[in-house]
Structure 1
Amino acid sequence: MNKTELIKLINQKLSEKIQNFEKLIAETRASNNDTKSSMGDKYETGREMLQQEINNLQVQLNEVLKQQDFLKTIPVKISDKAEKVAIVKTERGLFFISVSLGEITFENQKIICISPESPLAKAMNGKRKNETFSINNINQKIENIC
């Protein structure tokens, strides 16, 4: 499996998320500016709710930007144990320890991108092929790592 191409795909997905957040923030700001009313307190409450939504979107955008920055720093290498940048295959799925992006399809395979800080990544951290780990009282065996 070509990790360089996989990282490019993930970076593309993150760029799409960034564009979507930026668009949502711009649209929400525009609607905030368009909100005009003679309702007094209701007007202020509405503006405050829109501002909170903008702040929430900004936090999410910043998180995706951090993920993108993290992707730029990770070395592309072959791994022999579960660690950052490892692709770990268990009987329950294929996991790429990189950023929290969820499920993507790459080379006709479903890969779940998980953060190194996720409970699953922590449970399998340092394990090698044919070793087992447990999460939520479910044992999993590592079938392969690359």
Structure 2
Amino acid sequence: MDKKELLKIIKAKLTDKIHHFENLIAETRASSNDTKSSMGDKYETGREMLQQEINNLQRQLNESLNQLAVIQKISSEPSDKVQNGSLVKTDKGLFYITVSVGEIISENQKIMTISAESPLARAMSGKKAEESFSINNIIQTIQKIG
């Protein structure tokens, strides 16, 4: 499993997400400019709702930009203990500790991307191969760290 390839997949997902949010913000701003009316309070209420939507989209865009910045700093070098950037195989699944973008499939294997701040990543942090950890009363054993 090539971590450089996984990082490329994650970067592509985040870049697509960023473009999507930028387009939604632009479209919402355009519709906000189109809402000309002489209905007084209704006009102001509509503009305020559109502004709240823009603020929400902007927050999501900023979160995706922050995730992209985190990805830029992740090393693809192997490590002997679980840390940010580790590809961890346990008896329950395959996890890549980077940023959470959901499940990705590479070389016909499902890999769950998780944030280093997630409870699962924290539970396995610092562990080495053949060590076990418990989360939600489920014991997992680390089989391999990449």
Pairwise CA distance, 1:49 = 0.9
Per the alignment, in what secondary structure is the counterpart of residue 110 of structure 2? strand
Matched, 1:59 2:71: no
1:30-81 alpha-carbon deviations (Å, 9 max, x no partner): 1111112232212111111110111111111111111111111122211211
CA distance in 2, matches of 1:139, 1:45: 52
The one-letter code sitting in structure 2 at the alignment partner of 1:47 is R
Pairwise CA distance, 1:103 = 0.6
CA distance in 2, matches of 1:107, 1:37: 55
TM-score normalized by the length of structure 1? 0.95
- What are the within-5 Å matches in structure 2 for residues 34-53 of structure 1? 34-53=34-53
CA distance in 2, matches of 1:127, 1:52: 44
Residue in 2 that maps onto 1:83: 83
Pairs aligned (count): 146
Pairwise CA distance, 1:100 = 1.2
Structure 2: runs of 5+ lacking an equivalent? none
Pairwise CA distance, 1:141 = 1.4
4+ residue runs over 2 A deviation: 36-39
* CA RMSD in angstroms, aligned pairs only: 1.1
Residue in 2 that maps onto 1:145: 145
Give the percent of matched residue pairs that are identical in Structure 1 and Structure 2: 64
